[in-house]
Amino acid sequence: MKTNLFFTTIAVLFLLACTKTNTHEVAITGKVTNPMNDSVSFISEDTTYSAKIKPDGTFEIAFTLDTSMYFNFNHGYEVTAMYIMPGDAISLTIDPSQYDESISYEGSPASSFLAKKYLLAEESDFFGKVYYMSSSEEYKAFLAAYKANLLKELELIHDSTFIKSQVREVDETINYYISRQDRLSAYSQEVRNYLFESNSVANQYNFYTAVDSLNNEEFNQMLKEYSSQMKGLLIPVTDQDYVASTEKGIDKAVIWWSERKTWYDNMPKKGDAAIDFTYPDKNGEKISLASFMGKMVYVDVWATWCGPCIAEIPALQKLEKDYHGKNIVFISLSVDEDKEAWLTMVEEKQLGGVQLWADGWSKITKDYAIFGIPRFLLFSADGKVISNDAPRPSNDEIRTLINSNLN
């Protein structure tokens, strides 16, 4: 009987060992309604995990985590924050046409909190009428109510590290808003009213889209209407020094956008010869785009202070690794003005490829009408433009574009 009991015990222990799950493994299943491409990515500070979307819109992915950490979920051109813990089993659904308004998580209360936090911040309109027209006490009460709502949502979370980081972030954000609103106390009520109304008018003009969608005549007419409306709002303001200074700022903005429209119209399009550029690497050696004639070139225009740029680094490193030995060169061109910050990040993150420093918004940003970053460019081996706004590394469309043009 003792012998039978011994072997029975061993068998049970063996069975438990074989069926024990990995407590560090994360399993995520999901469904994407109206997908924009065929993949999803989960991007941490130093790693990217990707999964293919099946024809029915579903996907599944598993990876191992040693500690809880923040991720960005990416599909298409947008990202949304997640907080993933070792052992999580998460079910995710999203409609990219609505993105944050549609995303839903089961099995990740922290990620659900981050989604609610984003929507609550959007609804709160921190820089709306309450910001411009309220007293300091009224604005602080408004922010206190926002914080109370978030703290109530946090009651569903049990991860103390996550709770502490979120409370700290909320407090920092609120203090920032308060300090911003305090500056308005120097203005009269009529000036504050102008700031509120002019902000609303400015939001009606999307010049970034108009640069692309309108011809030169239509764009100039849009600028005239913008200037007329903005200056018209100044009529009730009696502070003539403020009026003169503000009108000068409006004129400067009109000239600024007019110049950028010219840059956009003159930018080389697909199939045109690329405009060359030359910048120093970390050793001070001048390197040009033309130096790589005979090879395809993928250029990342970025900066150390740009969050979305940093989020693309793991995907860029993987892309570079996957195409190692192929007829393609990867150039990362920093528009940082702080050279030391750039050099430090290049070393700390062990950035590969060709690392160049543009020292601010220099010639390349004019030649290729770069108004925001990250921005990616792709050039053919014979020096022609394949795309002056190429897909990001985290988007699998870049691989399709590279493969279809790679010699």
Does residue 95 belong to any structural domain of this protein?
A: yes
Give the model confidence (pLDDT) of 201-235 as tens digits: 999 999 999 999 999 999 999 999 999 999 999 99
Do residues 283 and 384 share a domain? Answer: yes
Are 284 and 400 in a shared domain? yes
Q: What is the mean pLDDT of residues 330-354?
A: 95
The region of weakest confidence among 14-18, 52-56, 239-243, 246-250 is 14-18
* Domain boundary, last residue among 212, 241, 266: 266
Taking only the tens place, the pLDDT of each residue in 278-290 is 999 999 999 999 9
Give me the number of domains the chain comprises.
Answer: 4
Last residue of a domain, one of 79, 107, 135: 107
Same domain assignment for residues 383 and 370: yes
Residue 118 in any domain: the answer is no
Residues 317 and 397 in one domain: yes
When pLDDT is averaged across residues 331-345 and rounded to a whole number, the result is: 96
Q: Is the pLDDT of residue 13 over 90?
A: no
- Same-domain check for residues 320 and 389: yes
Instruction: With respect to residue 116, please indicate whether it lies within any of the assigned structural domains.
Output: no
The CA distance from 303 to 357, in Å, is 10
181 and 251 belong to one structural domain:
no
- Tokens representing 359? 């020292």
Separation between Cα atoms, residue 58 and residue 6, nearest integer Å: 47
Could you tell me the pLDDT band of residue 52, with boundaries at 50, 70 and 90? Answer: very high
Angle (nearest 5°) at CA 291 between 290 and 293: 65
Flag whether 159 is in a domain: yes
Which of 2-16, 123-137, 237-251, 308-322 shows the lowest mean pLDDT across its residues?
Answer: 2-16
Host H or E run for residue 191: helix 189-202
Same domain, 174 and 194: no
Q: Are residues 296 and 333 in the same domain?
A: yes
**Are 284 and 352 contained in the same domain?**
yes
Predicted confidence at residue 10, as pLDDT, reads: 47
Q: 258 and 290 in one domain?
A: no
Phi, psi of 208 (to 5 degrees): -60, -40
Is the pLDDT at 19 greater than 70? The verdict is no
Buried b (16+ CB within 10 A) or exposed e, 261-275: bebbeebbeeeeebb
**Domain match, 9 and 91 both:** yes
| Per-residue pLDDT tens digits for 64-96 | 999 999 999 988 878 899 999 999 999 999 999
Eight-state DSSP code of residue 156: T
Q: Is the dihedral of CA 96, 78, 326, 297 positive or negative?
A: positive
Q: What pLDDT is attached to residue 17? A: 47
Helix axes 189-202, 216-232, angle to 10 degrees: 160
Identify the pLDDT of residue 352: 92
Q: What is the pLDDT of residue 16?
A: 46
Pairwise pLDDT comparison (374 vs 15), residue with the higher score:
374
Question: Region 167-189: what's the mean pLDDT?
Answer: 95
What DSSP letter does each residue of 315-348 carry, written as one string?
HHHHHHHHTTTSSEEEEEEE--S-HHHHHHHHHH
Arithmetic mean of pLDDT, 134-158: 94
For residue 15, how far is the Cα from the chain centroid?
A: 47
For 384, list phi and psi in degrees, rounded to 5: -105, 155
CATH of the domain at 373: 3.40.30.10
Query: Is 115 inside any structural domain?
Result: no
Is residue 63 situated within a structural domain? Answer: yes
Q: Is 272 within the bounds of a domain?
A: no
For the chain, percent of residues with pLDDT exceeding 90:
81
90 and 69 in a common domain: yes
At 368 the three-state DSSP class reads coil
261's tokens: 């429209």
Query: Which residue segment(s) compose the domain that 84 sits in?
Result: 2-107
Q: What residue type is assigned to position 332 of the chain?
A: S
* Cα dihedral sign, 322-323-324-330: negative
Band of pLDDT at residue 38, cut at 50, 70 and 90: confident
Query: Where among 266, 286, 318 does a domain terminate?
Result: 266
Name the band, by pLDDT with cuts 50, 70 and 90, for residue 21.
low
pLDDT in tens, 92-138: 999 998 888 899 999 999 999 999 999 999 899 999 999 999 999 99
Peptide bond into 308 cis (omega under 30): no
Buried b (16+ CB within 10 A) or exposed e, 136-151: eeebeebbeebeeebe
**At 14, is the pLDDT very low, low, confident or very high (cuts 50, 70, 90)?**
very low
Mean pLDDT of the chain: 91
Residue 114: inside a domain: no
Element (H, E) at 72: strand 69-75
Q: Confidence class of residue 18 from pLDDT cuts 50, 70 and 90?
A: very low
> What is the pLDDT, as a whole number, of residue 74?
87
Residue 12 pLDDT: 46
